[in-house]
Amino acid sequence: MKASILSALYEADGYVSGQQLCDKLAVSRTAVWKVMNQLKEEGYVIESVPRKGYRILERPDCVTAEEVQSRLQGRHAEWNIVYYDRIDSSNNEAKRMAEAGEQRTTLVLAGEQTGGKGRRGRVWVTPKDTAIAMSLLLRPSIRPEHASSVTLVMGLAIANACREFCNVDARIKWPNDIVVNGKKICGILTEMSSEVDYINYLVIGAGINVNMESFPEELQQTASSLRLLTGAKTDRAGLIAACIEQFDRCYALFEKTQDVSLLREEYNALLAGTGGQVRVLEPGNEYTGISRGIDEKGDLLVEREDGTIQPVYAGEVSVRGIYGYV
Ligand code: BTN
């Protein structure tokens, strides 16, 4: 109900009367009044004028489930969304929920992470209320070897959402990062529980650098934030909603073929470094080649010196651009 009241307030051009809210949501005046008080306690500034109704004047910059859901009303209601002010890691929480039997597609959001995880055992810092830390719990009916394609779907969704919502030239650094002007603004960590031929669940965690105003010196050459790139604060809940809508669209196309063939063209158009040199670091086999975009399986096609094309599987290797981070 809180999310529906918030969306009614956001959508209204002026005041919304208590009666309108009661009729729309089929609840009592007292129930509406209670929610208004809760919202005020959470930092929303809501004006209430007798015989006119309620009007929202200010909202806190938060990414609570209600705030995100209020942006999705009517367009996307199926996901279970949960929010924690402070948690070790949203990926860990999504895994705990999966292990406890959660069957719904669930998005875990965190205001702050105290044990955020990056890939290859690295630490991922999510400062309080300035970034996006989100983890999507999915139980897809695909084979474990196709799980890495879902990371590509999420990467494409986030790149598109950043482009449309923040108007930045977001590109994908295959397979897990989103970059703008050669600097990383988002990293994705996918974790999986599976049998040999069956996925129990997938957790796709994404950390987006949104409103940070600075980075530690050692990251300044390689990382940036949407705030530093655009000069403006981004509404994080709105960006999360844009990511959810994009993921939904892209994932539906992925599900049709169980691969990325229907997304390949769109993906390759946003892929960073195509035509540039990359170094492939496979266990026991390192080589240099030219990046030629992804194929329908999501493998990166690398042209070797002898002209042969080598598909590189996202789950197994690391690819580095030769010049700079991308
Ligand atoms: C990387 O680039 O190394 C991947 C970073 C992934 C960070 C996100 S933030 C949300 C989710 N929770 C985590 O602990 N990690 C991922």
Pick from 92, 124, 219 the residue to mutate for probing ligand 1's pocket: most ligand atoms within 8 Å of its CB.
124
96 lines ligand 1 (CB under 6 A): no
Extract the tokens encoding 161.
């959402």
Tokens of 2: 């809180």
Query: For residues 183 and 177, what is the distance between their CA atoms, to the nearest angstrom?
Result: 10
Q: Mutual orientation of helices 2-11 and 65-72 as an angle, nearest 10°? A: 50
Nearest CA to ligand 1 atom 7: 207
Helix (H) or strand (E) segment spanning residue 131: none
**Which residue type does 319 have?**
V
Our CA dihedral for 169, 173, 179, 183, rounded to 10 degrees, sits at -130
Q: Is the CB of 173 under 6 A from ligand 1?
A: no
φ, ψ for residue 139 (rounded to 5)?
-120, 75
CA 64 to CA 62: how far, in whole Å?
6
Which pLDDT value is given to residue 190? 96
Q: Is the CB of 190 under 6 A from ligand 1?
A: no
Q: How far is the CA of 77 from the centre of ligand 1 (A)?
A: 25
Ligand 1 pocket test, pick from 117, 123, 148, 154 with the greatest ligand atom count within 8 Å of Cβ, gives 117
Q: What is the atom index within ligand 1 of the atom nearest the CA of 113?
A: 14
The pTM of this model reads 0.92
Give the pair of three-digit tokens for residue 148: 């890495």
* Residue 65 Cα to ligand 1 middle (Å): 19
The CB of 127 under 6 Å from ligand 1? The reply is no
CA–centroid distance, 312 to ligand 1, in Å, is 23
Distance 26 CA to ligand 1 centre (A): 40
Residues in the chain: 326
Strand partners, 291: 302
Closest atom, ligand 1, to C-alpha of 117 = 14
In the chain (326 residues long), the average pLDDT of successive 10-residue segments reads: 87 87 88 90 89 90 92 75 97 98 97 95 94 97 92 98 98 95 96 95 98 94 96 96 95 94 98 91 86 95 94 74 60
Atom of ligand 1 nearest to the CA of 177: 2
Residue nearest to atom 10 of ligand 1 (CA): 133
Rounded CA-CA distance 153/298 in Å is: 9
Pocket test for ligand 1, best of 96, 128, 189 (most atoms within 8 A of CB): 189
Instruction: Give the whole-angstrom CA distance, residue 196 versus residue 5.
Output: 46
At residue 176's C-alpha, the angle toward residues 156 and 108, to 5°, is 80
φ/ψ of 20, rounded to 5, equals: -55, -45
238 alpha carbon – ligand 1 mean position (Å)? 20
- Ligand 1 centroid vs 13 CA: distance in angstroms? 38
